[in-house]
Structure 1
Amino acid sequence: MGIKAFLSKYLANFTVSKMENWKVNAPAAQEKVLKKLIKAAQNTAFGKDHQFQKINSYQEYKNLVPVHDYEDLRSYVDRVVSGEENVLWPGKPLYFAKTSGTTSGVKYIPISKQSMPEHIKAAKNALLCYIHETGKTDFLDGKLIFLQGSPKMDKKAGISFGRLSGIVANHVPAYLQKNRLPSYEVNCIEDWEQKVDAIVEETIHQDMRLISGIPPWCQMYFDRLIAKSGKKYIKDIFPNFKLFVYGGVNYEPYRARLQESLGFKIDSIETYPASEGFIAFQDSQKDKSLLLLADAGIFYEFIPTDEFFNEKQTRLSLGEIELNKNYAIILSTNAGLWAYSLGDTVKFVSKNPYKLLVTGRIKHYISAFGEHVIGEEVEQALLAVAQQEGVEITEFTVAPQVNPAVKGELPYHEWFIEFRQTPLDMSAFSLKVDEALQQKNIYYKDLISGKVLQPLIIRLLKPNSFINLMRAEGKLGGQNKVPRLANDRSLADKLEQYII
């Protein structure tokens, strides 16, 4: 056992013990976070505009600070981007995380000197919780790889900006730097496919023990490793590979193929980072839920998803949530985001401690006919049938077809699926998926039984359709993800060219 692995057990015990201080009463920890945030920002432009000096309770905060999306905050963010100080948070941001929005174009999310350490601490603590529970430290004695964006930064008004994963790459702790791959030069390659090929060359003969990244891009890395080496499984290339850390998308649609590529079952840790803040991570191998970080400079609010688009919304603090109910998650952060709608939906599965599952995106839904089908429902319906039928799926997305080409034909949900192994009877498979979705969503079931909709229709896509589309859109790799479903046909229409 190396010195890092040896010392990590002591650090893990200390960290987990310290986390218990806020885990046992997370709502109280949240009250302290809100008071601290308001006090720190009361003399900022936003704080003055929203009378922070008058706020002494969560109810007063709700009364004075409405829920915002990026467009609502844009006038403030633009002032920060132009170099003005004390706008959303005291001073200037340490970084801007550059992200792409579907309606806002490029977004600049501020990261402060107070919020940056929380990103690093959360990633570190996820590993320490794993060590504490399992006692496994071998992964620290070999090489670690983080498939991420370029660490090269640009500047706006003297403030560095780039992708979140690239920003974080500049803050990897010194004790991990010697173990870390890829090299800085390879990590700076902008073209994703060139970068993956260079990472393969640099890592194929190394003792890789921890691999981290978004599942579909890790799969691309594994595919190219196998092709380059001539081996059948990743275990034959990296026999000491111990731990897979992932986030950004639901792992389940990728699990079967990743496991097949690996050739063995591996421990994994799911994380929930966002440019706006590191929200949660899997703290136990015994269940898949994620521990909400209640003492990390973020105050959380929750809006029931069925109310989110209403003029009047119910805003709940952590202590007011109900289990197994879908909520849109709202953040106020120590980087100056206030009642900010993150766009994600979550449901809590535990209050002791507060643990959640990410269920989708609030804007990634289908409700063209009032059904309000969400990502969790389509994923679970498809994967359950695929498992029963022994079918493997590479990628998929769903969109409504409101105006069928055939006159008199009922509208339907159109599923674009890239199969790795196609069902023997596609009609039977489609009906089973439709029935499974009806069981998940009563409104959809009523529309089918009421002959408002016809059962879903599956379009088979050519191999690599989603990769080719992402490449054409300039969205291959990094933090880019394929939306599982949409209420419009912007993605669906582009995929029609790939239909078999």
Structure 2
Amino acid sequence: MFDKLLKTVNEARWADGLRIRNRLDDITYEPMRTQEEFVMRLIRENAKTAYGHDHGFENIRNMDEFRSFVPLSTFDDYAAYIDRVVNGERNVLTTYHTEHISESHNHCKIPMSRWSLQSCYDYSFSSGFYIAAHHGFLTDGMTLNLIDNNIDRLASGITVGNILGRLLTKREFDNDQIYVIPIDIIKSAEQPEKLYLQALFALYQQDISLTLCDQYINMLDMLSYIEKHWPKLTDDIEKGNVYVPSSPKRACAIREIMESHHVGTELVTQLWPRMHCIMVYDVDSLSTSFEFLRTYCGNKVHFIFTGIGSPLGAFTTALNIDDPQTVLIPDSIFYEFKPKDSTNDNHLLTLDQVEIGKSYELIVSTLSGFYRYKTGIDVLVVGRYHDTPTVIVDK
């Protein structure tokens, strides 16, 4: 019965992902037509918001006028508007309903609309699931969730916290049937209790085929924790505790593996023979220590780098496994590009004007009411998918 439920959930993931990939294939041909339609929709539908009124949206008739009349912006330009959104006021930055507030690394609050959240789910989760399913990685196991999902809720009903954690709880049926770690147990835990719980639930379940991480370091930290604390973890699995029932057979298997294991060597497929794939959401943070994780995984575990993003949302989406190159999303973000070495904010390029091999600062207009926003993220154009640029983060 459980295998049937698992198959049903994974088939639903595959169907969602296939729908998004088909849409991506459509919009990446003639992307500038999609871009102009997108930006004019933003202007038309948000003309009566406070921000739209302050910036003359009603007088903007085309994309060029939008770029001429609306100034480039940074977070400070939105602070007063965001306070109004947090207090429950509507039609401030956007007419679209605000459902979530994410937080940047310096604790700035970023409101996100319903449509922005849906776009993030489509191009981060569903797109990644399509790639995993396309390679046969969703068929025979559960999902290990290492994403921070400590989400609070304001009196207005708006959720606050990590955007990925918010997206993770989007489909409650999936939560109960597919994830190794119960979401309600892990979400309020603090370190090192969180590492203990992650390691305990992960070790207890042998049949894991996919892992979700905010950053690859989440998986690396858990594996290091297992190497240091496997005797206690194994004893708890053997005897059972308030989190997991007793499983002497699984405890015996773990002991056999760990007693012969050398620290820092291949471990993942020994503990979880069906582990095929790790989906990583923060491709900004890849570093030389990523090779340590590759060593733990061996050559049978693949990676999906789901795209470039920030608390504002998803800016690009993945195309292939083991490839940090991702493609722009013409129907969900309006893009402008400032050449990396340029000091001229008045000469920005659109996605049809960027050149392969050159780097640019990313300027975005979003479904959450951020217009011509300077992200501070530099990207290197490395190719094209159909007619749309593909990029990697340029450090």
TM range (shorter): 0.7 to 0.9
Q: Which residue of 2 aligns with 1:150?
A: 149
* Displacement over 4 Å in runs of 4+: 5-15
- After superposition, the Cα gap between the structure-2 partners of 1:42 and 1:319, relative to the gap in structure 1 and judged at 3 Å, is same
Q: Deviations over 1:450-499 (max 9, x none)?
A: xxxxxxxxxxxxxxxxxxxxxxxxxxxxxxxxxxxxxxxxxxxxxxxxxx
* Alignment partners' CA distance in 2, 1:95 and 1:12: 23
* Alignment partners' CA distance in 2, 1:13 and 1:62: 34
Q: Which amino acid aligns with 2:86?
A: V
Q: Deviations over 1:316-371 (max 9, x none)?
A: 211121112111111111111111112211121123433433334xxxxxxxxxxx
SS at match of 1:24: coil
1:194 corresponds to 2:193: yes
* Alignment partners' CA distance in 2, 1:287 and 1:99: 26
Q: Which residue of 2 aligns with 1:209?
A: 209
1:39 corresponds to 2:76: no
User: Contact 1:148–1:187 (CA<8 Å) still a contact in 2?
Assistant: no
Of the candidates 300, 306, 327, which is equivalent to residue 335 of structure 2? 300
| RMSD of aligned Cα (Å) | 2.4
* Alignment partners' CA distance in 2, 1:244 and 1:342: 27
Residue 287 of structure 1, CA deviation: 4.5
* Alignment partners' CA distance in 1, 2:345 and 2:17: 45
* Alignment partners' CA distance in 2, 1:252 and 1:100: 18
SS at match of 2:154: strand
SS at match of 2:352: helix
- After superposition, the Cα gap between the structure-2 partners of 1:320 and 1:173, relative to the gap in structure 1 and judged at 3 Å, is farther
- After superposition, the Cα gap between the structure-2 partners of 1:305 and 1:177, relative to the gap in structure 1 and judged at 3 Å, is farther
Q: Which amino acid aligns with 2:82?
A: V
Q: Which amino acid aligns with 1:283?
A: L
* Alignment partners' CA distance in 2, 1:7 and 1:100: 33
Residue 76 of structure 1, CA deviation: 1.5
User: Contact 2:131–2:321 (CA<8 Å) still a contact in 1?
Assistant: no
1:356 corresponds to 2:390: yes
Residue 88 of structure 1, CA deviation: 0.4
Q: TM-score, with normalisation over the residues of structure 1?
A: 0.65
User: Contact 1:325–1:347 (CA<8 Å) still a contact in 2?
Assistant: yes
Q: Which residue of 2 aligns with 1:245?
A: 279
User: Contact 1:269–1:282 (CA<8 Å) still a contact in 2?
Assistant: yes
Relative contact order, higher structure (CA 8 A, sep 6+): 2
Q: Which residue of 1 aligns with 2:227?
A: 226
Q: Deviations over 1:407-429 (max 9, x none)?
A: xxxxxxxxxxxxxxxxxxxxxxx
Residue 238 of structure 1, CA deviation: 0.7
1:87 corresponds to 2:122: no
* Alignment partners' CA distance in 1, 2:171 and 2:11: 20
Q: Deviations over 1:373-396 (max 9, x none)?
A: xx3xxxxxxxxxxxxxxxxxxxxx
Answer 1 or 2: which has greater strand percent. 1
User: Contact 2:140–2:274 (CA<8 Å) still a contact in 1?
Assistant: no
Residue 6 of structure 1, CA deviation: 5.7
Q: Which residue of 1 aligns with 2:367?
A: 334
Q: Which residue of 1 aligns with 2:82?
A: 77
Q: Which amino acid aligns with 1:210?
A: L
Q: TM-score, with normalisation over the residues of structure 2?
A: 0.81
Identity of aligned residues (%): 20
Q: Deviations over 1:192-249 (max 9, x none)?
A: 3210111111120211111121111210011123341552312111111011111313
SS at match of 1:72: helix
* Alignment partners' CA distance in 2, 1:100 and 1:203: 28
SS at match of 2:306: strand
Q: Which residue of 1 aligns with 2:320?
A: 284
Q: Which amino acid aligns with 1:208?
A: I
1:128 corresponds to 2:127: no
